Each structure stands twice: as C-alpha cells, then as structure tokens.
Amino acid sequence: MSKINHHPSPEQLTAFAAAGLPLSQGLAISSHLEYCADCRRNVERLERLGGELFEALQPLDTTEALRSRVFAQLDGEPKEATQQTLNTPEKLSKNPNIPRCLLQFIPEDYDDLVWKRVSFSIQSSELCRDANGAKVELLRIKPGGSAATHTHLGDEHTVILTGSFSDEDGLYGAGSFITRNSRNKHTPVATLDGECICLAITEAPVQFTGFFSRWLNPFLRRSHA
C-alpha cells in the first residue's frame, strides 16, 4: 500500500477519540483509519490518555438514593439492548476493500448500490443523512473523469476508497482524507489507471464557479435539502 500523505487534523482525531464527532464525520475518520496505521496509533494514544485523565478525576460524593437510581437504570432495558448488539454477527462482503464501518450501508459490493448520474463521468449513491443534515454519499468517477471547478458552502470531508484523483493541491490515493470548505476552490480529476470511488461527507452543497456550470447551483441546493 502506498504511503498516505493526507490525514485528519490532530483536532479531528482528538474529537474522534473522545466520541465528540457527528456520525457522518466519525464514518469518514473510521474509514481512513482502516487504511492508515499511523492515525490508528495516534487514536489509541489519545484514547489511553483520555482513560488516564478520567481515572485521575476525583469522585463526587453521592447519596445512597442517587446511586440506587443509577444502578436500577443500568440493570434495565439498555443492558439487554447492548447485549443484543454485541451478539450481532459481523457482516461479510464480496469486496474485502470496503471499510468495515460502511458495511451497514454496503452489505455486498459497490456495484449493488443504486447509483445516480451526476455528470458524464460522475455517479453518486447516497448512504444516509446525519442528524445535523450532513449528506453521506459515495462518488464514483470514471478513469480520467473530472468534476467542474467548485467551492463549498460548508465543510466537506472526503476519503478515497479505491483509485485516486488529483486537484490543484496534489495527488490523493486510497485512504487519503481531505477536508475542503468555502476557502478552497478546486477541480478534482480521477487518474487514468482506474475509476475512483470516494466517501464524501457534505454539510452543504457545492458551489460551481465555472461560467457554464453556475446555472446548476440552484438544483444542487435543492437536491441537498
């Protein structure tokens, strides 16, 4: 596997280790971690540090009545639900390269999803929506295909699952984690050696900036709603 040069920021990894990210961003970082041993080690260190800090906290005095209520809740239905989740068998996939965290949305293979044509060279398949409105989708780009030049009305987090693409800032291979926002304008182009499939988390629609593509912006805003 080639070296990955594009990773989540230290702040993003810290929030992930503390379970402080929305589901959509957590899926993106979890997908990246399956490719990147360096970030996995960093998350493990952050989790150990968090555990040590938690153990160092001084316990608060509580009344016996409060402790009884807490333990009564722990002994109720949530415990059974958790046990049922733990006993759920791990799903198998025809494609071993699909990140495990995405198997709940892609149980078989990428080809089995419902794809919608976005342009001549790009297709999309929506996986879910986050509670904050962020869209979680896959983008499939033909070899050598490109997206129109655009910027972003909100944060976008992209993880390359297969293949690679380039833009004005460099080349991104499998496992790369890229964050873009309104300060960035780029034109992604897939490499010629194969199709590129990306996991994309968008908090708001893209904004085309090209002369001939700007007329599509109202349709993009409606499709993201």
Task: Report the chain's terminal Cα–Cα distance, integer Å.
Answer: 38
Q: How far is CA 88 from CA 82, 116, 213, in A?
A: 10, 32, 47
- Using CB atoms within 10 Å of the CB of residue 104, give its burial: 0 to 12 exposed, 13 to 18 middle, 19+ buried: exposed
For residue range 2-59, list pLDDT tens digits in order: 589 899 999 999 999 999 999 999 999 999 999 999 999 999 999 988 776 656 666 6
Classify residue 83 by its DSSP letter.
H
Q: Inform me whether the pLDDT recorded for 203 exceeds 90.
A: no
Domain ranges (residues) in the chain: 1-225
Classify residue 186 by its DSSP letter.
B
Helix, strand or coil, per DSSP, at residue 135: strand
Q: Against a cut of 0.85, is the pTM above it?
A: no
Distance of CA 36 to the CA centre of its chain: 14
Please tell me the distance from the alpha carbon of residue 35 to that of residue 2, in angstroms, as a whole number: 10
For residue range 68-84, list pLDDT tens digits in order: 665 565 555 433 333 33
Sign, Cα dihedral of 124, 126, 127, 131 = positive
Which two three-digit tokens encode residue 84? 């049922």
Architecture of domain 1-225: Sandwich (2.60)
Q: Are 168 and 218 in contact (CB under 8 A)?
A: no
